[in-house]
Amino acid sequence: MAEMQYFEGEKLAFMKNDSHFRKRLSIARMLLYCVFITSEAVRSASFSMTPKNDDNEVALRSPLSQLSRRQILASPFAIGGAIAYGKSLSDVAKKISRGDLEYPPAHEKRVESTIANAMVAAVPSFLSEKNTNRPFRVLEIGIGDNCRVSRRGLYDEAFEELSKRGVSNIALTGLDIVVPKSNVMAQAENRLNKNSSGKQMKVNFDVLEGSIESKSTFSNGWFDCVVCALTLCSVDNQVAALEEVKRVLRPNGGTFGFVEHVAVNIEEPYRILNLQQQVFDPLQQVVAHNCHLHRYTGDNILKVFSIQKEEDYALSSRLSYERFLVDDMWPVS
């Protein structure tokens, strides 16, 4: 599950749209569910003991004899699920080691359109400033050591829209605790400028090493737009990170766009997904840059940006808030 949202600085209003909220179980989820069934069966069998004689001695019974018929029937599926899960883990590990991890198109589309929406929404107040000679400033937090968003061309839509609105000079700053290698940065910069070259757009790209959880050297309100993809799930302290985002964002008309893993809400009908998120959360943290699957990111954003209730953000169509499932995200969306 991921969540898309962007805010207009201090003008805090956004529109909720659940139209893309789909209820579909992917094959991977069903397989994972089978793993749960088996692990539950084995767990209950392993710890089951029964009285053996009058002295109340106990003996372990064979785990298999403790399985219910349903559990035995589920076992082949569970073993298949475990194998499939292991294979998917090793595939991802291989891709990560080759540096070419690709996410599902549905996710990438979300990232591209979220970034475009957020940047476009910040343009009017940028253009109304007296000093329009300065570049339109964008901060991407948690840019990643392979600069995925820029290298995959996920700024294309934003640049195209900005160009139509007369913005031709952009300063894109990446911030991460792990900086990309210089050849990766060069590829990212080439990709960013390749997109913009036909549109007389100039993109200055730079990456700084640092944490969004601590106060950066940027002055208050420096950026017109802050964006991130799958970063708030990885920071240690979300509230500290969001406070810094809010500080560096231009108070009048600055925007924040993000696409993040979020925890299933209690009122949502995704109990299996909720269980998966909680079970796989520790593993995900180890294999995927401290990524937490089960965080109430939306709530933290509402808190930091002081949005109290739904009516507060049902006021404007310029700002949007959306929750959606991406079926093919690994291991759970």
- Positions in the binding site for ligand SAM (CB under 6 A): 141-145, 148-149, 175-178, 211-213, 229-231, 234-235, 241, 288-289, 291
Q: By C-beta, is 66 or 234 nearer to ligand SAM? A: 234
Q: Which is nearer to ligand SAM, 126 or 205 (CB)?
A: 205
Length of the chain: 333
Closest to ligand SAM by CB, 41 vs 212, is 212
> Are the C-beta atoms of 7 and 255 separated by less than 8 Å?
yes
Phi, psi angle pair for 198, to nearest 5°: -70, -10
By C-beta, is 123 or 141 nearer to ligand SAM?
141
Sign of CA dihedral 214, 218, 224, 228: negative
Least distance in angstroms from the C-beta of 146 to ligand SAM:
7
Q: How far is the CB of 303 from ligand SAM (least distance, A)?
A: 18
Report the C-alpha gap between 124 and 105 in whole angstroms: 30
Residue 172 or 175: the one with the smaller Cβ distance to ligand SAM is 175
- Closest distance of CB 35 from ligand SAM, Å: 24
H/E stretch holding 178 reads: none
- Residue 298: C-alpha distances to residues 9, 18, 229, 291, 330 (Å): 16, 14, 14, 16, 21
Q: Which is nearer to ligand SAM, 144 or 254 (CB)?
A: 144
Asked if 6 contacts 118 with a C-beta cutoff of 8 angstroms, the reply is: yes
Minimum gap (Å) between residue 95 Cβ and ligand SAM: 12
266/286 with CB nearer ligand SAM = 286
Which amino acid, 66?
Q
* Smallest separation (angstroms) from ligand SAM to the CB of 233: 7
Q: Please answer whether residues 292 and 233 qualify as being in contact, where contact means their C-beta atoms are separated by less than 8 angstroms.
A: yes
Q: Are 246 and 303 in contact (CB under 8 A)?
A: no
What is the token pair recorded at 59? 């003996």
Closer residue to ligand SAM in complex, CB, 143/172? 143
Report the nearest approach of ligand SAM to the CB of residue 101 (Å). Answer: 8
Report in angstroms how near the CB of residue 243 gets to ligand SAM at its nearest: 12
Within 8 A by CB and 6+ apart from 270, the residues are 1, 23, 264, 325
Among the listed residues 220, 66, 229, 61, the one whose alpha carbon sits nearest the alpha carbon of residue 142:
229
Q: Which of 276, 323, 319 is nearest to 298 (CA)?
A: 323
State how far the Cα of 245 lies from the Cα of 223, in Å rounded to an integer: 9
Q: Please, what is the minimum distance in Å from the beta carbon of residue 237 to ligand SAM? A: 8
Residue type, 54: D
State both tokens at 133: 């000679």
